[in-house]
């Protein structure tokens, strides 16, 4: 049986990176935290949902838009995902979910 390329039944569902998660752009760009999604009418690049990009707060009122594939997820020295105002048990839960959805090279230790 040939697999139809448009068949979505075999694809893994998109796992959204939660708000508050600390990220850095793959190209060495600024780091910040996800503060939501922005739905785009036109323009390049979309998350796997086909409609949005992540909105990244880089500080002092600065925001940038980035797609899922352009982001690295920052961790602490123990490998837990860094998140704003979240305690270790929740960060551990989110870390497990994200590690199941993303390749290991998407997780990098924070240098700050």
H or E, element range at 108: strand 107-109
Cβ–Cβ under 8 Å, residues 46 and 40? yes
Asked, for residue 15, whether it belongs to a domain, the answer is no
Whether residue 5 is contained in a domain is answered as: no
What pLDDT shows up at residue 14? Answer: 86
In a domain, 84, yes or no: yes
Q: CA 110, CA 43: separation in Å to the nearest integer?
A: 31
Report the pLDDT value the prediction gives residue 7, as an integer from 0 to 100.
47
* DSSP-assigned states of every residue in 5-69: TT--TTSPPP-PPPTTBEEEETTS--EEEEEEEEE-SSSS---TTSSEEEEEEEETTEEEEE-GG
* 4: in domain: no
In a domain, 11, yes or no: no
Which tokens go with 21? 């998660």
Total domains in the chain come to: 1
pLDDT tens for each residue of the chain, 112 residues long: 344 444 445 567 889 999 999 999 999 888 999 999 999 877 778 998 889 999 999 998 889 999 999 999 999 999 999 999 999 999 999 999 999 999 999 999 998 7
Q: Which domain holds residue 32?
A: 22-109
CB contact at 8 A, 54 and 16:
no
Q: For residue 91, is it within any domain? A: yes
């Amino acid at each position: 049986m040939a697999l139809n390329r448009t068949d979505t039944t075999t694809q893994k569902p998109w796992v959204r990176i939660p708000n508050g998660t600390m990220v850095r752009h793959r190209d060495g760009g600024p780091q910040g935290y996800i503060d939501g999604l922005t739905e785009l009418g036109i323009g390049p690049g979309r998350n796997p949902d086909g409609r949005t990009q992540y909105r990244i707060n880089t500080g002092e009122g600065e925001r940038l838009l980035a797609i899922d594939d352009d982001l690295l997820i920052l961790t602490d020295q123990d490998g837990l995902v860094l998140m704003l105002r979240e305690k270790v048990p929740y960060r551990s839960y989110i870390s497990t979910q994200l590690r199941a959805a993303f390749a290991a090279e998407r997780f990098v230790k924070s240098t700050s």
